[in-house]
């Protein structure tokens, strides 16, 4: 069920991203290089490699292949892993291997990493092309090989250490897991095959000689819309979107009408649904988080945090800590989400409900018989305004009421007012009350 929902949400979002970010690259959208010495396309890959990043890389490689004047495509990797299927990862690596313009990989700059499936991608590129690492970078924790036997054993010999642990750039080069250590991107480019005569030697301001490329470097990053959803597919952001959605939707449930909180909460829920659908999560932990929302809602309507708030808090903590399974837990986000929910449910939400439904000037029982105005059509549900306050309302015996009509409150059911038109209602509360009181006065 979670897979089906994630595919539906993911499909909608991918269509949206494609429409915002432009159509897939083709000959008609190719961007040709105008430098006579040629150009190098640089593709940045930050964070987890998710379906959006995989599509972006494939489209960009296709664009370079369809363009003229490009000599190399360089993928700059700084990634903690992949969240795509084994088949999708192999399709991406195959696309890089069969590209008309050679594709190489550089893990950098200093401090960058290639872990999990990203480490396997780097090792695979080194198998058929060139992969280098900057000084101060790391690679490893790849786990069991996901690519097929067509690529051989990518982590053999000394390189097998990268399957379970992390290796430095120097150690990876000595183990032939990557080709060499290249401190900067420019050196990686100039050391590629076919680039030997695409540079000149210059002297810097300190009298040192260095090479300067004659080619143009065209750096490309994810489009803005794609970057948004790529960010949402990170564990920290997906979790915070889930917490925000639950908090705002519970708040909206106990207020009249559909306001900003409801719209923002619904938007956060869609983003959380996409992010959690892409990430490898524990289904039972997600169920705990959703059940926590139900438990919170039970006590919110009583204005007092009681047993069900404690149950909800316990479920929320357990679900939050175990939500992302084998992925590194985003502890800062977890602390923020757990603390924010605790403050909201134990302090903020009860105070809001007390303020909304417990004011001394509008006692709930005293509202029976009060007159107001319909703020929307009631057929049978909608909203009304009583003494300047908005309330959820339903019509008495489904008597239709139009926006702007004068209404009378005849009863209260939980947090919903039951109302009738001023004239022609199914029950005239004041007349019924007078009829009930007359025999008592006569006796």
Between helix 2-21 and helix 260-278 the angle, nearest 10°, is 100
- Residue 168 confidence (pLDDT) above 90: yes
pLDDT grade for 356, boundaries at 50, 70 and 90: low
Which of 68-77, 131-140, 218-227, 408-417 shows the lowest per-residue confidence on average (mean pLDDT)?
A: 408-417
Q: Is-contact 340 369, C-beta < 8 A?
A: no
List the alpha helices (DSSP H) in 195-234: 224-232
Cα–Cα distance, 348 to 241 (Å, whole number): 19
pLDDT grade for 3, boundaries at 50, 70 and 90: very low
The string of pLDDT tens digits covering residues 230-247 is 888 889 999 999 999 998
Q: What is the mean pLDDT of residues 219-232?
A: 87
- Would you identify the CATH topology of the domain 365-442? OB fold (Dihydrolipoamide Acetyltransferase, E2P) (2.40.50)
Which of 38-42, 188-192, 357-361 shows the lowest per-residue confidence on average (mean pLDDT)?
A: 357-361
Closest of 356, 347, 293 to residue 320, by C-alpha:
293
Cα–Cα distance, 12 to 17 (Å, whole number): 9
- Residue 10 confidence (pLDDT) above 60: no
What are the boundaries of each domain within the chain? 23-222, 226-357, 365-442
- Residue 162 confidence (pLDDT) above 80: yes
Q: Which residues pair with 167 in a beta bridge?
A: 139
pLDDT grade for 439, boundaries at 50, 70 and 90: low
Residue 322: asked if its preceding bond is cis (omega within 30°), the reply is no
Residues 23-222, CATH architecture = Alpha-Beta Complex (3.90)
Cα–Cα distance, 405 to 175 (Å, whole number): 80
pLDDT at 426: 54
pLDDT at 117: 93
- Residue 318 confidence (pLDDT) above 60: yes
The string of pLDDT tens digits covering residues 365-389 is 677 888 899 988 888 888 888 877 7
Percentage of residues in the chain with pLDDT exceeding 90? 45
E strands present in 141-282: 166-168, 180-181, 199-203, 209-213, 216-220
Terminal-to-terminal C-alpha distance of the chain = 66
Cα–Cα distance, 407 to 425 (Å, whole number): 9
pLDDT at 29: 42
Query: Is the pTM for the entire model greater than 0.85?
Result: no
CA atoms within 13 A on the CB side of 179: 20
Q: Is-contact 274 229, C-beta < 8 A?
A: yes
Closest of 97, 152, 372 to residue 256, by C-alpha:
372
How many other C-beta atoms lie within 10 A of the C-beta of residue 276?
26
Closest of 169, 184, 155, 254 to residue 42, by C-alpha:
184
pLDDT at 353: 59
Cα–Cα distance, 327 to 11 (Å, whole number): 24
Cα–Cα distance, 185 to 171 (Å, whole number): 19
pLDDT at 396: 74
Percentage of residues in the chain with pLDDT exceeding 70? 81
User: Three-state DSSP class for 287?
Assistant: helix
Cα–Cα distance, 214 to 199 (Å, whole number): 5
């Amino acid at each position: 069920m979670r897979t089906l929902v994630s595919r539906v949400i993911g499909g909608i979002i991918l269509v949206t991203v494609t429409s915002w970010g432009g159509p897939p690259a083709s000959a008609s959208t190719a961007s040709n290089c105008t430098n006579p010495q040629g150009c190098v396309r640089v593709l940045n890959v930050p964070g987890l490699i998710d379906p959006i990043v995989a599509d972006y890389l494939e489209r960009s490689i296709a664009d370079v292949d369809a363009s003229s004047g490009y000599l190399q495509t360089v993928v700059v990797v700084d990634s903690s892993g992949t969240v795509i299927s084994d088949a999708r990862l192999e399709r991406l690596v195959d696309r890089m291997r069969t590209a008309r313009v050679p594709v190489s990989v550089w893990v950098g700059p200093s401090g960058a990493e290639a872990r999990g499936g990203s480490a396997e991608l780097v090792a695979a590129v080194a198998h058929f092309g060139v992969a280098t690492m900057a000084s101060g970078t790391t690679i490893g924790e790849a786990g069991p090989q996901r690519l097929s036997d067509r690529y051989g054993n990518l982590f053999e010999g000394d390189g097998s250490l990268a399957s379970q642990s992390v290796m430095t750039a120097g150690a990876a080069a000595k183990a032939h897991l990557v080709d060499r250590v290249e401190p900067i991107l420019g050196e990686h480019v100039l050391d590629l095959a076919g680039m030997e005569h695409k540079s000149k030697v210059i002297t810097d301001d300190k009298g040192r000689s260095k090479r300067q490329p004659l080619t143009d470097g065209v750096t490309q990053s994810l489009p803005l819309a794609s970057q948004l959803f790529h960010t949402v597919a990170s564990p920290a952001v997906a979790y915070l979107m889930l917490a925000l959605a639950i908090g705002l939707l519970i708040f909206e449930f106990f207020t009249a009408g559909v306001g900003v909180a409801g719209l923002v909460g619904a938007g956060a829920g869609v983003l959380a649904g996409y992010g959690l659908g892409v990430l490898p999560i524990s289904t039972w932990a997600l169920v705990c988080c959703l059940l926590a929302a139900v438990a919170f809602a039970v006590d919110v309507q009583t204005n007092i945090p009681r047993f069900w708030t404690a149950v909800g808090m316990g479920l929320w903590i357990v679900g939050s800590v175990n939500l992302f399974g084998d992925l590194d837990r985003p502890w800062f986000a977890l602390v923020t989400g757990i603390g924010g929910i605790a403050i909201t449910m134990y302090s903020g939400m009860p105070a809001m409900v007390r303020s909304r439904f417990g004011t001394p000037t509008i006692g709930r029982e005293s509202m029976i018989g009060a007159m107001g105005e319909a703020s929307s059509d009631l057929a049978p549900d909608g909203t009304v305004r009583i003494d300047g306050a908005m309330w959820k309302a339903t019509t008495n015996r489904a008597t239709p009421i139009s926006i702007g009509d004068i209404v009378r409150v005849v009863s209260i059911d939980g947090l919903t007012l039951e109302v009738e038109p001023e004239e022609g209602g199914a029950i005239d509360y004041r007349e019924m009350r007078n009829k009930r009181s007359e025999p008592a006065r006569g006796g």
